[in-house]
């Protein structure tokens, strides 16, 4: 339930960071300005006794985040992939949030399995291990099927996780409404819509049947991708609270020492992670939106294995083309074209100056070229981008939130494998291939063919649609003029004829 009572939750957030000793470290990690540091300490200190104590065996920031609950843990998981933003030491501390959280009891897990499948656990699995990984939403058990003897991974939701997430989301809504009220300039960022988007993603992640469906679709899309594997879903042993998949053998992507000992090329793996993500996002419009180290393994043959499909991103064909043109423009350092694409897509108000916007984009892009990635501060770059968007009145694009967030996470994963990887160099071949297929002449013919198919469906109905439009127009206008029913008749007829010509042209070309 949303309301002012959620102020208590926000107060406890600041109090928890203060009580655990995490406030100073967190502010240092993001290089907060002096004024922000003073305000945060002054406001949080009087309430420190209200904060959660957390696990004293954990480092302060990790201790605070885990004490606050699953929504905060999700945020910490993102930061764990950004050593260039929070520093390598903090990123290493936060990495335990990916799959090393305290598990719930095996008795609770057994109860969930039996409740979901409607039979004793021993009838389903001849072996059922203690948790092998535990994250914010669920934990995983290694098991062996009683009927086939195959090794599988059984994912079980945390008991009461729905209520815990809803409590955090309600507080986030209050924070978003407060920000919009106190800072009208923030409304262009649409904080409430961002929270609504986050809530929709979370609800999907809390139903493992939806995750199983996403895994199945993702596998169908990527089955021909070289160097990429996905475990298969076992639908008969899955439900809302549990999901069973084939066991994936491999080394954790975050264990660089183990990867080196096994003889893997970490730079090649990092580049492949980036290229796979871009390929899935641009080619399919359906991508893994939680690609941190805890959800990736490396097989003995060097293939990347992905799992945990609770958060998947989806973008339509038009948005993919816009995104590809923006990336391609940056790669070619054609900032005027990048600016034009922003205006054409409506991302920047038409009242702004396109040339001025192009110069601002040049100031963002130029420092990237001619430098290795270790010299680029992503924190400063993101801060400058925020200033640019504020200056030109750009609104937050909620459909791009997951794409942008995943791009940041994936780059962080790649750079944790090899710090000198440059995202622009790695992205270039993938984006160029997509441009050739989706924005060149072949794309025009493909679009025409799709238009012809749609027109073909309505072909038998076109005469009746024209007649209905004419009848409706004549009844609405008592004294039709040349620009009334007759003009609209000519416009509609022209549209029908044009549609027919397009159909014929498309079928002829294809």
Distance set, CA 166 to CA 57, 158, 199, 456 (Å) = 28, 14, 8, 47
Three-class DSSP labels, 291-333 = CCHHHEEECCCCCEEECCCCCEEECCHHHHHHHHHHHHHHHHC
Beta strands 228-229 and 304-306: pairing type? parallel
- Catalytic residues, which ones? 290
Beta strands 286-288 and 228-229: pairing type? unpaired
Locus of tokens 């009572």:
5
What are the percentages of helix, strand and coil residues in the chain, rounded to 5? Answer: 65, 10, 25
Cβ pair 368, 424 in contact under 8 A: yes
First to last CA, the chain: 55
Three-class DSSP labels, 342-371 = HHHCCCCCCCCCHHHHHHHHHHHHHHHCCC
Helix (H, G, I), strand (E, B) or coil at 15: helix
How far apart CA 323 and CA 282 sit, in angstroms, is 8
Instruction: Report residue 85 as tokens.
Output: 């933003």
Provide the residue count of the chain. 510
Instruction: Report residue 17 as tokens.
Output: 């960071």
Residue 322 CB contacts under 8 Å (≥ 6 apart), including other chains? 341, 344, 345
How far apart CA 339 and CA 360 sit, in angstroms, is 9
b/e 166-196 (16+ beta carbons within 10 angstroms → b): bbbbbbbbbbbeeebeeeeeeeebbbbeebe
Helix (H, G, I), strand (E, B) or coil at 78: helix
Query: By CB neighbour count within 10 A (0-12 exposed, 13-18 middle, 19+ buried), where does 481 fall?
Result: exposed
Nearest to 385 by CA among 427, 326, 325: 326
């Amino acid at each position: 339930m949303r309301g002012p009572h959620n102020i208590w939750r926000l107060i406890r957030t600041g109090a928890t960071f203060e009580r655990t000793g995490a406030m100073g470290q967190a502010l240092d990690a993001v290089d907060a300005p002096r004024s922000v540091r003073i305000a945060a300490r002054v406001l949080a200190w009087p309430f420190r006794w209200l904060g959660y104590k957390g696990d004293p065996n954990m480092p302060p920031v990790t201790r605070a985040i885990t004490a606050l609950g699953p929504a905060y843990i999700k945020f910490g998981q993102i930061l764990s992939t950004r050593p260039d933003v929070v520093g390598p030491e903090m990123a290493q501390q936060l990495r335990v949030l990916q799959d090393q959280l305290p598990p719930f009891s095996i008795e609770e897990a057994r109860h969930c399995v039996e409740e979901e499948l409607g039979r004793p656990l021993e009838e389903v699995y001849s072996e059922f291990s203690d948790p092998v990984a535990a994250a914010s939403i669920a934990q995983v058990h290694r098991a062996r099927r009683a009927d086939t003897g195959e090794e599988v991974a059984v994912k079980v939701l945390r008991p009461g996780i729905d209520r815990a997430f809803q409590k955090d989301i309600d507080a986030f809504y209050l924070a978003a409404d407060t920000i919009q009220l106190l800072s009208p300039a923030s409304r262009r960022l649409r904080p409430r819509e961002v929270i609504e988007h986050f809530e929709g993603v979370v609800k999907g992640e809390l139903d493992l049947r939806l995750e199983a469906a996403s895994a199945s679709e993702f596998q169908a899309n990527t089955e021909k991708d070289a160097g990429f594997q996905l475990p298969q879903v076992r639908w008969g042993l899955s439900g809302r609270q549990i999901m069973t998949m084939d066991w994936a053998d491999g080394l954790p992507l975050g264990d660089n020492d183990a990867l080196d000992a096994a003889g893997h090329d970490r730079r090649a793996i990092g580049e492949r992670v980036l290229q796979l993500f871009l390929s899935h996002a641009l080619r399919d419009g359906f991508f893994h939106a939680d690609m941190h180290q805890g959800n990736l393994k490396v097989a003995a043959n060097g293939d990347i294995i992905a799992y945990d499909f609770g958060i998947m991103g989806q973008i339509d064909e038009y948005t993919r083309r816009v995104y590809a043109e923006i990336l391609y423009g940056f790669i070619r350092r054609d900032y005027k074209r990048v600016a034009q694409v922003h205006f054409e897509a409506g991302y920047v108000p038409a009242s702004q100056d396109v040339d001025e916007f192009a110069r601002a984009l040049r100031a963002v892009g130029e420092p990237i070229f001619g430098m290795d990635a270790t010299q680029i501060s992503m924190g400063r770059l993101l801060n400058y981008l925020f200033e640019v968007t504020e200056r030109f009145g750009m609104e937050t694009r909620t459909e791009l939130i997951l794409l942008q967030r995943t791009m940041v996470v994936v780059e962080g994963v790649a750079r944790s494998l090899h710090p000198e990887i440059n995202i622009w160099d790695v992205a270039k071949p993938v984006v160029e291939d997509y441009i050739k297929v989706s924005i060149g002449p072949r794309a025009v013919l493909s679009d025409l063919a799709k238009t012809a198919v749609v027109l073909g469906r309505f072909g038998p109905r076109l005469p009746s649609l024209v007649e209905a439009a004419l009848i409706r127009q004549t009844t609405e206008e008592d004294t039709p003029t040349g620009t009334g029913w007759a003009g609209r008749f000519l416009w509609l007829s022209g549209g029908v004829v044009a549609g027919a010509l397009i159909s014929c042209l498309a079928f002829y070309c294809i």
